[in-house]
Structure 1
């Protein structure tokens, strides 16, 4: 084999080898494996050509270029604080945090330069606007509703950027010291008012119970007097009936009986009392004893 043949053979082998190398490079460059957590933006001649999703993808080497590798994982903005004035002119400092995902990277990379800064600015403006529509008490008590409103407003604002807002949080609502002192005084005044109302209601109830007790006592006394009057009327009726049947002697007998009972009661004393009776009382008692003896 001559030198020319050997040279031609070596040259041919080199060409084949270079061709194989170029083919391997083309194949390697034409195959793109995209991780599950990413999307790749492909440009052709400097313009958007396609977006590669997770898995194996094929591109045209030398023509197509993976210009951006975008993570589609959920992101959290750093906690931001912004001042806002409520509807009742109270200055508050609101701490917020926003979570979002990039779902259309072709919009994100070509329509906005700094996504985090843009979202933070948007959130700050929306928070100030929404809190300005509410009184301080509403901000404190309707935080869940306020968060939902802010989330919806942010979603509408960032829709053109290919972003999905997954969650918005109001971490804290801080007040200046003067406002805190004023609220504390108001709270103490409200507690004192409630205590006074409670005491007044207690006193009112006590008066009502006392009046009910006095009314009950009056009714009982009246009932006792009625019963006593009925008894006296009954006794009088019995006496009247006896007089009607037996004449004046029955009445004299009752009077004599009462006189003897009165004298008997006087005799039950402890002996130290002094009793002064009119002279004619002795004769009256004598007559009473005679009448009782005669009836016996």
Structure 2
């Protein structure tokens, strides 16, 4: 009976050893996915890094100590309180984008590279915000992010990681400061509105005055042109009349100088003279006649039209 129990115990031990051996044999076969890296230790010491593909390990000797994902990952930086240069307490949080470049350093260079990156990002953010006034912290997000990335890159070279970006999600000031900032923004907005209104009113007045000025100039120029045109018209009229008079006088002189011209002129003037006398007598006017009705000959002689004998 005791011999049977002993044989059963031995068989159970060998069966357990066989099961463990089979389990370890299957465990030594590793299929590494793409963008992943397995750190293999042999007897507790670093042995190799397994890339993507099929790999077989030595059972009971080799083991996968660390498994790393080589894809870019996002790590949230928890909110923290920071003091600006003007002693205003603000709450800042952000996001880090990192990836593993050296799986060995990420495994043995630091205990937890994620936690270390978060702590370093927080301390760097606090130090940078401490050099800026509150108003500039909202404007200098890129400066803060660039400084954090620079510091993390220097440390990441020893940790086997690369920091691609650091983005600040929120910068939250206290409620009192937030209300004061809102009042300042509203005041600036009202100031710009009043300034824009005054500039518009100023431009409107300038435009109206320019329009009135242009209208007065146009009227004065029109009046001046009108007077110039009238003066030129009168001058042309006088010139035309004088030319016509000169031409008529010249023609009359030519007619008088022609043979029989003086006799014709004498007859015409005598006819007009008699018609005037006849007209005056018919209208009932008192007419004083010369003693000699032929005295108009004297008048003709005075103007040089009497025929010389």
**Common topology (TM > 0.5):** yes
CA apart distance, 1:39: 0.7
Which residue is 1:92 aligned to? 90
In structure 1, C-alpha distance between the alignment counterparts of 2:98 and 2:222, rounded to whole Å: 87
Select between 150-159 and 103-112 the one with higher mean Cα deviation: 103-112
CA apart distance, 1:161: 1.8
Question: Contact 2:121/2:148 (CA < 8 Å) preserved in 1?
Answer: yes
Indicate which of 217, 220, 223 corresponds to 2:221: 223
Q: Between Structure 1 and Structure 2, how many residues are aligned?
A: 227
Which residue is 1:33 aligned to? 30
Which residue is 1:177 aligned to? 175
Question: CA, structure 1 residues 41+206, in 2 after alignment: closer, same or farther (shift >3 Å)?
Answer: same
Question: CA, structure 1 residues 30+124, in 2 after alignment: closer, same or farther (shift >3 Å)?
Answer: closer
Question: CA, structure 1 residues 144+154, in 2 after alignment: closer, same or farther (shift >3 Å)?
Answer: same
Question: CA, structure 1 residues 130+235, in 2 after alignment: closer, same or farther (shift >3 Å)?
Answer: same
CA apart distance, 1:56: 0.9
Question: Contact 1:72/1:103 (CA < 8 Å) preserved in 2?
Answer: no
User: What CA deviation, in whole Å up to 9, does each residue of 1:72-129 have, x standing for no partner?
Assistant: 2544434411222345554322111224344434333333233332221111012222
CA apart distance, 1:239: 8.1
In structure 2, C-alpha distance between the alignment counterparts of 1:206 and 1:235, rounded to whole Å: 44
User: What CA deviation, in whole Å up to 9, does each residue of 1:17-38 have, x standing for no partner?
Assistant: 99xx79x769938944253244
CA apart distance, 1:70: 2.0
Question: Contact 1:34/1:40 (CA < 8 Å) preserved in 2?
Answer: no
Question: Contact 1:41/1:105 (CA < 8 Å) preserved in 2?
Answer: no
Indicate which of 171, 185, 192 corresponds to 2:190: 192
Select between 98-107 and 113-122 the one with higher mean Cα deviation: 98-107
TM-score for both structures, normalised by structure 2: 0.57
Structure with higher Rg: it is: 2
Which residue is 1:69 aligned to? 66
Secondary structure of the corresponding residue to residue 194 of structure 1:
helix
CA apart distance, 1:42: 0.2
Question: CA, structure 1 residues 212+167, in 2 after alignment: closer, same or farther (shift >3 Å)?
Answer: closer
In structure 2, C-alpha distance between the alignment counterparts of 1:220 and 1:204, rounded to whole Å: 24
Question: CA, structure 1 residues 70+102, in 2 after alignment: closer, same or farther (shift >3 Å)?
Answer: farther
Which residue is 1:129 aligned to? 127
TM-score for both structures, normalised by structure 1: 0.59
Unaligned runs of 5+ in 2: 1-10, 246-309
Question: Contact 2:37/2:49 (CA < 8 Å) preserved in 1?
Answer: no
Q: Is 2:50 aligned against 1:56?
A: no
CA apart distance, 1:236: 9.2
Which residue is 2:209 aligned to? 211
Question: CA, structure 1 residues 39+200, in 2 after alignment: closer, same or farther (shift >3 Å)?
Answer: same
